[in-house]
Amino acid sequence: MIDTIVFRLVNEIGEIVCQSKHIGAVLVLDPIIVFLKPIIDNTNIRENIRYICPNMARDNGINSTAIQLEEWIFAQPEGALILPQEVPVLAPRKTINNLLAMLALQHKLERIAAGIYYKPEYHPQLGMLRPSVEVIAKAISRRDGARIIPTGPLALNKLGLSTQVPLRIVYLTDGSPRIVKIGNGEIRFRKANLKLLSIKGELSLLVMLALKELGIEGLDDEAKKKIIHALQQEPMEILLHDARLVPAWMQGIFHEAIKIKGIK
């Protein structure tokens, strides 16, 4: 009889906590579980009790990992991307993954892609805002310790040379090639060649890929002005280094940027 009562009581408490939107509920109800623990341990129901919910997930009903994780997540700004590898909670990776997945089921986080979660940010009229593809790609790059480079169409958009955002987002990388599914879309990472990776400046590389996409015929005065302005944001030593590595027809543009930067 006592087994049934304790089991029901523990699960009722768990249900209340799981439905709670605030960590405070966990802190209030947690002592009740502590009080019940000796009873639970002395009955044959202990092995039948699974995680009550991620807020109170504990090896024997009491393990602070979930509370630490949720407290950390609540401290993050709205719109933050959360990756298991970056969670500063000492616990096995599998435990962190499971807890993040459970928080997503509770709608406290949104699952963007495999191993990538998002703390929702809401707009009064638009509802939940989604992180941009660029933010997601940079988070993947940071996680993998890899360099990523926007390909031509995306490079044009980033430099203000095109208002079109390509439907298929492709980045070059020195990391592993892969396809990351994002809802109904995807981000493709393709292996970059060594010559591209030898260019040091991020803006130099962006300009080179944009120019490659435009071609000599597509480079008008307005586009050239924007490109030279972008190049001037690079440190002089980077510009001098990268000017030697770009194709011959682009070197004149780099030299113009170097000349103007030198005068300033």
Q: What is the pLDDT along the chain (264 residues), one digit of tens a residue?
A: 555 555 555 555 555 544 544 444 443 444 454 455 455 444 444 333 333 444 444 443 335 677 788 888 888 889 999 998 888 877 788 888 888 888 888 888 999 888 899 999 988 888 888 888 888 999 999 888 888 988 878 889 888 888 777 777 889 999 889 998 887 778 999 998 888 888 999 899 999 999 999 988 888 889 999 999 999 999 999 999 999 999 999 999 999 999 988 765
The model carries a pTM of 0.64
b vs e for 236-247, b when ≥16 Cβ sit within 10 Å of the residue's Cβ?
A: eebbebbbebbe
Q: Do 182 and 251 reside in the same domain of the chain?
A: yes
Q: Do 32 and 71 reside in the same domain of the chain?
A: no
Q: Do 116 and 191 reside in the same domain of the chain?
A: no
Q: Do 107 and 221 reside in the same domain of the chain?
A: no
The continuous run of DSSP H or E covering 128 comes out as strand 127-129
Q: Do 136 and 125 reside in the same domain of the chain?
A: no
Give the total number of structural domains in the chain: 3
Q: Do 140 and 53 reside in the same domain of the chain?
A: no
Q: Do 117 and 154 reside in the same domain of the chain?
A: no
Q: Do 22 and 95 reside in the same domain of the chain?
A: no
Quickly list H helices, 145-247: 152-158, 194-197, 202-214, 221-231, 236-243
What pLDDT score does 54 carry? Answer: 41
Closest among 172, 158, 177, 70 to 117, alpha carbons compared: 70
Domain span including residue 30: 1-60
Query: For the domain that residue 121 is a member of, what is the CATH number?
Result: 1.10.10.10
Which of 45, 60, 75 is where one domain is finished? Answer: 60
Q: Do 209 and 178 reside in the same domain of the chain?
A: yes
Q: Do 111 and 157 reside in the same domain of the chain?
A: no
What pLDDT score does 48 carry? Answer: 39
Quickly list H helices, 145-201: 152-158, 194-197
Which of 60, 76, 97 is where one domain is finished? Answer: 60
In the chain, DSSP finds a helix count (H) and a strand count (E) of: 11, 9
Which of 83, 106, 131 is where one domain is finished? Answer: 131
Q: Do 116 and 149 reside in the same domain of the chain?
A: no
Q: Do 264 and 138 reside in the same domain of the chain?
A: yes
